[in-house]
Amino acid sequence: MARKKIALVGAGNIGGTLAHLIGLKELGDVVLFDIAEGVPQGKALDIAESTPVEGCDAAYGGANDYSVIAGADVVIVTAGVPRKPGMSRDDLIGTNAKVMAAVGEGIKTHCPDAFVICITNPLDAMVWVLRELSGLPHEKVVGMAGVLDSARFRYFLADEFKVSVEDVTAFVLGGHGDTMVPLTRYSTVAGIPLPDLVKMGWTTQERLDQIVQRTRDGGAEIVGLLKTGSAFYAPAAAAVQMAEAYLKDKKRVLPCAAWCDGVFGLDGLYVGVPVVLGAGGVEKIVDIDMNAEEKAMFDKSVESVRGLVAASRELMPQ
Ligand code: APR
């Protein structure tokens, strides 16, 4: 059986890290596309030259022409600009909405059967633009945010409890922004929900609230440290997990920005929810019950995403 083809649109910090991880995991052959001349070619060659050392069989190519993505099984999109200190993800919309429109057209022309993962921010609105312009079925176009946000939450919790990150599960819903909704009730250590761990004296409610806030600010914390760009190792790892779930039909239950129409009380909006990811793309949305407080936080997040989608609509070509 021929290897799968994974196209990376955007060969910057996240794109390069994605290319490296995909080869190490032998998920398929990789092509990188970018408008920066020489960058996708250079990163492709550099990583290809590491494969004999790593002992992994994956072919790499890079180009400044969209035809390189032809026939891709998976497309991961990071094209656009990242934020700088002081900027919110939403500040990127003017530039990135136009980039997503071009990328959507490229996907429609060259690989309309692909599974598409958007990483470009502001995530929930950019994945909407990408879907609109590519015309792909909604279940084949998703946004990566929840896996990253919950990984940050899991890391902070594991550090707090001094337990393995493997034994911490976390649940983050809503938009990928300041209004994201980390759900402590559905987050656990080896199945024990966080509120029970507070009762058991493992931590205090105050500490837990701080960790939730640090999760919400997780992206900004990295931007503040790096100063020249935003996080890239963890976002790349998160998107690779989603790509792997699709390529291997793993039916992973992962939080993704997915098209919600008739679930979570929504009538057509991309927002972060738990989904089953398999060979069909988003095979199911897990429509969980929320209590009044959680619902209020989710509704606030949904309103913020709606605003970003409306702003993106204004920026799109007619
Ligand atoms: N088509 C293709 N590539 C483009 C385009 C375009 N129209 N416009 C910009 N790019 C490329 C840039 O040349 C650059 O190589 O996108 C790449 C972006 O890479 P970085 O600047 O390193 O940004 P990165 O850290 O990878 O983040 C990319 O993901 O998490 C989000 O907020 C982040 O929106 C940002 C995106």
Q: Which residues line ligand 1 at a C-beta cut-off of 6 Å? A: 9-15, 34-36, 39, 78-80, 82-83, 92, 96, 99, 102, 119-121, 229-230, 232, 235
Average pLDDT over residues 192-204: 97
* Per-residue pLDDT at 315: 84
Element (H, E) at 257: strand 252-261
pLDDT confidence of residue 88: 86
The tally of CA atoms less than 13 A away on the side-chain side of residue 12 is 17
What's the rounded mean pLDDT across residues 132-136? 97
Supply the residue whose CA is at minimum distance from atom 33 of ligand 1: 82
- With 0-12 / 13-18 / 19 or more C-beta atoms within 10 angstroms meaning exposed / middle / buried, residue 59 is middle
Q: What average pLDDT does this structure show over 60-86?
A: 96
Q: What is the mean pLDDT of residues 24-48?
A: 98
Burial class (CB in 10 A: 0-12, 13-18, 19+), 49: exposed
- Position 163 scores a pLDDT of 98
Cα separation of 130 and 116, whole Å?
9
6-15: per-residue pLDDT in tens? Answer: 999 999 999 9
Q: Please say whether the beta carbons of 22 and 240 come within 8 A.
A: yes
DSSP of 109-170, one letter per residue? HH-TT-EEEE-PSSHHHHHHHHHHHH---GGGEEE--HHHHHHHHHHHHHHHHT--GGGEE-
Class of residue 48 by CB neighbours under 10 A (exposed 0-12, middle 13-18, buried 19+)? middle
Q: What ligand 1 atom has the least distance to the C-alpha of 14?
A: 26
> Per the annotation, where are the binding residues for NAD(+)?
10-15, 34, 96, 119-121
> Percentage of the chain with pLDDT > 90?
93
Q: Does residue 272 have a pLDDT over 70?
A: yes
Q: Which residues are part of the catalytic machinery?
A: 176
- List of domains in the chain: 5-144 (3.40.50.720), 146-315 (3.90.110.10)
How far does residue 231's CA lie from ligand 1's centre (Å)? 12
pLDDT in the model for residue 318: 65
Query: Which atom, in ligand 1's list, is nearest to the CA of 36?
Result: 13
Residue whose CA is closest, atom 32 of ligand 1?
82
The reported pTM is: 0.97
Tokens of 248: 């291997």
Residue nearest to atom 35 of ligand 1 (CA): 82
